[in-house]
Amino acid sequence: HETAGLSAHQLVVRRGWAFKVTLLFHQAINWSKHSLDLEVQLGSLSERFPVHFTAQCYSPLRWSARVFPDNVHSHSVSVHVCSPVLSSVASYHLLLHIQSHHNMYNYELGTFVLLCNPWFKDDPVSMPLEVQLQEYIQSDYGLVYVGTHQSVRQQPWAFGQYEPGVLEACMQLLQVSPQHQSDRQADYLRRVDPVYLCRVLCAMVNCNDDLGVLAGKWQGSYMDGVSPTEWTGSAEILHQWMASSCSPVRYGQCWVFACVLCTVLRVFGIPSRVVTVFNAAHDANANLIIEEYYSSTGEKFNLSKDSIWNFHVWVECWMRRGDLGAEFDGWQVVDPTPQEKSAGVYCCGPCPVSAVQKRCFRCPFDASFILASVDADVIRLIVRDGLVMGRSVDTEWVGQLIYTKSIGSDKPENLTHTYKARSECVEMIHVCLSGGPPHLEVSLDMEKAPSMGDSICLCVTISNHSSHPRFLTEHLNAQLKHYNSCPTRTSGGRIFCVVFSVLTLHHSIQASQYKFLLTQDDIVNVAVVIKDMRSKARVMAAQEFNICSHQISIEVEGGDCIQMKKTCMAHVSYTNHCGNVLAGAVLCVDGYGLLQNKLALLQPGESIRASVSIVASSPGTKLLQATFSHSQSPGVVSRSFHKISVHN
């Protein structure tokens, strides 16, 4: 049933398909004198059905069992048991009843786990292509895209469906859910429906409102737990949750929540993938407008309840939406990061991606919130002494790029068009919002994504649509912000100029000016404010970007295909481009199934170079990972990974 590896102890089968149970007897049985019944039990619910020894018509809506004539022997009989395709996902008890003229014998045969069946066309989660099923159900290796839309980084993630204990943890999630605790019978009956399952599981991945898996934290110290950036897979998190009797595991951020939900959905047989939205809006009042406040010199204020994440990660799962109609079948967004409540609990979706594209605000579940995340407009307001001195609208910034890992490859698949179809009518709304074409326009562009040690080159373009000459002032401000938009440090500049029809101003920020930017996760917010000296009107533009760190190079002697149990050498090196900040520099090398322990390599100097010996303990794809950090940086400066395939 495509369940190999999910459990070493239990029978794991998929709904709608028959599985074979062979009954062995200590004495010969005359089958014309006995009849067999099977019974499946789920809590107080049960269904008893006869085992047929002759060809029969079966209802696909009921449990059924039959024996093929070849499988009947005096001491054994093999029974094919088939579940209805719309069965509840759960762990069932299987019972046997043997009846003769005089006696009735009852046996408990054991338990089995029943999962959704994406291979079967009648299951609402069915997926047509084998390559899709391999990627979205069976693959336990994934990539998460992070960073900014100009410089996208990829991080590997081990989904871990096949790690011992993961299936048990997933079953436990359903059993401890508030729905199950409050009404077991109703919960079992509703577990037929993938929409219901997704909603329950989405709420259970965060620990808000329930005994869920992960506690979120976005700032401050992670000393009393694990920093969200340190996790590398879901199994460790689920194990920790099980081992602590369902106490929350500290700490998660969006990609951790999403990857754990993706693992759980894949285990249950609901095709799913992890999706990154760059510049995702968190629109607290869901009005499709994100307001940002700036000073008249371009300094960003922390005033708005709304915010924009440089990236946000959620999950898409695949199903038919019987509750909505065929046009909403396909990928559905589910977002386990606790941001806003949906029907009273922290969970979001499933919401059809097609409903987002068609701008169906009321589509269940949570379409307006998801639509705002990918398609809100940013209104930047320039305020002074409590008054709005100018404003500009940016219709492009939010949801600029939406990525997932492509099937069977490490390349990203661009999903932007599946969420956003710009129509003329939408453009009209944007023009109305901005109050007609302004006489003065400004844009701010970066020539290329900067790397650490390079100057940052910015280009301000001012276009004039009026018939009068203008005297303008320009303020350019760059500040550091954390991942969730909190400004922390400011530096400014100021020049005067006169504009003709189009004027381009070039600015460059030297490496020595941003020395404080030391980790790959820091984001710079740059804003330019242009003021017309005569009319006092102001316009502005803003950009956000990160400074890419240089890659750690990892090479395996003799190529990336190695033999199991044979010692190989891997060479790891990193060259620092950030001046003399190598004090306390550490290059860490890590690899499950390749290295016994994490290795920390300390070396003074411009660059670090080291060779480590690796031995693979099992076949398959392994990852060798390396991180670089030093005593002056609060986080990891650079992180790289290298895929190695191990054969017998």
131 class by beta-carbon count within 10 Å (0-12 exposed, 13-18 middle, 19+ buried): exposed
Q: How far apart are CA 602 and CA 587, in angstroms?
A: 7
Q: Which of 297, 392, 404, 464 binds ligand NAG (CB under 6 A)?
A: 464
Q: Which is nearer to ligand NAG, 239 or 405 (CB)?
A: 405
Instruction: Verify binding: residue 431, ligand NAG, rule CB under 6 A.
Output: no
Report the residue number, 181 or 466, with the smaller CB distance to ligand NAG. Answer: 466
Q: Binding of ligand NAG at residue 500 (CB under 6 A)?
A: yes
User: Judged by CB under 6 A, which stretch of 317-325, 411-419, 545-553, 579-587 contacts ligand NAG?
Assistant: 411-419
When CB distances to ligand NAG are compared, the closest residue is 486
Q: Which residue has the tokens 């008054």?
A: 387
Question: Mask of contacts with ligand NAG, 74-103, x by CB under 6 A?
Answer: ------------------------------
- If residue 201 lies in a helix (H) or strand (E), which one and from where to where? helix 194-205
- Closest approach, Cβ 62 to ligand NAG, in A, equals 30
Q: Which of 243, 343, 426, 486 binds ligand NAG (CB under 6 A)?
A: 486
Closest distance of CB 380 from ligand NAG, Å:
17
SS3 of residue 265 by DSSP: helix
Which amino acids are annotated catalytic?
A: 254, 312, 335
Among 310-318, 413-421, 424-432, 534-542, which window interacts with ligand NAG (CB under 6 A)? 413-421
Could you tell me which residues come within 8 angstroms of residue 447 by beta carbon, excluding any fewer than 6 positions away? Answer: 457, 458, 459
DSSP codes joined into one string, 355-366: HHHTT-TT-TTT
Q: Which of positions 19-58 make contact with ligand NAG (CB under 6 A)? A: 30, 32-33
CB of 348 to ligand NAG, least distance (A): 22
Helix axes of 194-205 and 166-175: crossing angle, nearest 10 degrees = 100
Q: Is 603 in the site for ligand NAG (CB under 6 A)?
A: no
- Dihedral of the CA atoms 198, 201, 203, 207 (nearest 10)? -160
Comparing CB distances to ligand NAG, the nearer of 178 and 412 is 412
Region from 155-163, 203-211, 237-245, 458-466 binding ligand NAG, contact rule CB under 6 A:
458-466
Which one of 60-68, 257-265, 467-475, 635-643 is the stretch in contact with ligand NAG (CB under 6 A)? 467-475
Q: Position 510: which residue type?
A: Q
Q: Are 615 and 646 in contact (CB under 8 A)?
A: no
Query: In this chain, which of 46, 185, 466, 645 binds ligand NAG, going by CB under 6 A?
Result: 466
Is residue 300 a contact point for ligand NAG (CB under 6 A)?
A: no
414 near ligand NAG (CB under 6 A): yes
Alpha helices by DSSP H, listed for 19-176, are 130-133, 166-175
Q: For residues 588 and 600, is the Cβ–Cβ distance under 8 A?
A: yes
Q: Which is nearer to ligand NAG, 400 or 563 (CB)?
A: 400
Task: Considering only CA atoms, give the Rg of the chain.
Answer: 29
Q: How many residues does the chain have?
A: 648
Select from 43, 60, 322, 469 the one that contacts ligand NAG (CB under 6 A): 469
Does 501 help bind ligand NAG (rule: CB under 6 A)? yes
- Dist CA 144 CA 153 (whole Å): 8
Rounded to whole angstroms, the Cα distance separating 508 from 446 reads 10
Q: Of 410-418, 426-434, 594-602, 617-625, which segment contacts ligand NAG by CB under 6 A?
A: 410-418
Query: How far from 337 is each of 203, 236, 253, 619, CA to CA, in Å?
Result: 9, 19, 7, 35
Smallest gap from Cβ 497 to ligand NAG, in A, equals 11
496 prior amide bond cis, ω within 30: no
**By the rule CB under 6 A, 502 interacts with ligand NAG:** no
Rounded distance, CA 460 to CA 452, Å? 22
416 counts as binding ligand NAG under rule CB under 6 A: yes
- State the number of binding residues for ligand NAG (CB under 6 A): 17
- Residue 345 Cα distances to 198, 339, 348, 349, angstroms: 14, 10, 9, 12
Q: Based on CB atoms, which residue is closest to ligand NAG, 193 or 413?
A: 413
CB 642 within 8 A of CB 554: yes
From the list 210-218, 409-417, 489-497, 566-574, the region that binds ligand NAG by CB under 6 A is 409-417
Q: Say whether residue 401 binds ligand NAG (CB under 6 A).
A: yes
Q: At its nearest, how many Å lie between ligand NAG and the CB of residue 152? A: 8
Q: How far is the CB of 444 from ligand NAG (least distance, A)?
A: 19
Question: How many angstroms separate the Cα of 469 from the Cα of each of 161, 460, 501?
Answer: 67, 19, 9
Measured from the CB atom, the residue of 318 and 403 that comes closer to ligand NAG is 403
> 513-526 burial, b for 16+ CB within 10 Å, e for fewer?
ebeebbbbbbbbbb
Identify which of residues 134 and 414 has a Cβ nearer to ligand NAG in the complex: 414
3-class secondary structure, 132 = helix
Which residue from 250, 470, 475, 622 is in contact with ligand NAG, where contact means CB under 6 A? Answer: 470
Cβ 147 to ligand NAG, closest distance in Å?
13
Please provide the distance, in angstroms rounded to a whole number, between the alpha carbons at the two ends of the chain.
26
Residue 604 CB, shortest distance to ligand NAG, in Å, is 35
Residues in the site for ligand NAG, rule: CB under 6 A?
Answer: 30, 32-33, 302, 401, 414, 416-417, 464-467, 469-470, 486, 500-501
